[in-house]
Amino acid sequence: MSKKSKNQEDYPCKVFKSSLALLGALFVAIVSIMYILYKGWTAKAEIEKWKDYDECGI
């Protein structure tokens, strides 16, 4: 029987922690991109909504 070294015992924990950090960063990046797209779409919709009133002087 071979004894596991401390590094081998900690390896799954290290992989889990680094995977968790990577998933967290990926989640933040996706949410940021979706927020930017949402703000762009709502701004475009607002411009289209008031486009007809530009010539009225309002």
pLDDT at 2: 52
pLDDT at 39: 97
Burial annotation 29-52 (CB, 10 A radius, 16+ → b, else e): eeeeeeeeeeeeeeeeeeeeeeee
pLDDT digits (tens, 9 = 90+) for 22-47: 999 999 999 999 999 999 999 999 98
pLDDT exceeds 50 at position 1: no
Q: By percentage, how much of the chain surpasses pLDDT 70?
A: 83
d(CA 51, CA 30): 31
pTM higher than 0.95, yes or no? no
pLDDT exceeds 70 at position 54: yes
